Amino acid sequence: MVGVRILLDKGGKIVFSSKRTSESECVFCMIAARKEPANIVYEDEKYFAFLDAFPFSRGHTLVCPKKHGETIWDMDEGEIGELFRTASRVSKAIVSAVGADGFRFVQNNGEAANQVVAHVHVHVIPVRMEDRGRFADRKRFSGEEMRATAGSIRNAMGPA
Ligand SMILES: [Zn+2]
């Protein structure tokens, strides 16, 4: 099921295109199944969160449903609510763990929006006052730094 999905509006205008990825080829499904390594900071029955491997800032985390879906339109409204409720909870732990002054939620859908992995995810990006108004470049942290950050966020999450 790899290909491009194009949705048309009533006038036949293209409004959307998105990569299609099957569950078995999906890197985020593999992370959820522990078949692919990641620094997981939160997990419950239906949602999980892990550090972005190419973060914009320390603590940049992706919050995902475990159920595979490509875009937010693949989720029902109750699930969308749960996803953002989870992202909100995770954001509090991230801000506390990394000492951020604020945070962004970014939720990209479709290739035009720079959605790289075709599995719904919410970016939680902590920001500091000195980065106010700017979009940072991708950063690299060592494996040790990433594990330490993930540990701090997990500690700040407290019990599920
Ligand atoms: Zn997936």
Task: For residues 146-156, give the mean pLDDT.
Answer: 97
100 pLDDT exceeds 80? yes
Structural domain includes residue 144: yes
Structural domain range at position 45: 26-157
49 pLDDT exceeds 80? yes
Task: For residues 68-78, give the mean pLDDT.
Answer: 94
Structural domain includes residue 19: no
> How far, in Å, from the CA of 50 to the mean position of ligand 1?
14
Tokens of 31: 């992370």
CA 82 to chain centre: 14
- Number of structural domains in the chain: 1
Q: Is 123 a catalytic residue?
A: no
> How far, in Å, from the CA of 54 to the mean position of ligand 1?
18
104-137 pLDDT, tens digit each: 999 999 888 989 899 999 999 999 998 887 777 8
Structural domain includes residue 17: no
Structural domain includes residue 52: yes
2 pLDDT exceeds 70? no
CA distances from 151 to 26, 69, 91, 97 (A): 25, 28, 15, 9
Residue 6 bridge partners (DSSP): 17
Structural domain includes residue 56: yes
Structural domain includes residue 10: no
pTM across the whole model: 0.87
What CATH number has the domain bearing residue 46? 3.30.428.10
Enumerate residues with CB within 5 Å of ligand 1 (an ion). Answer: 26, 28-29, 68, 119
How many angstroms separate the CA atoms of 42 and 61, rounded?
Answer: 10
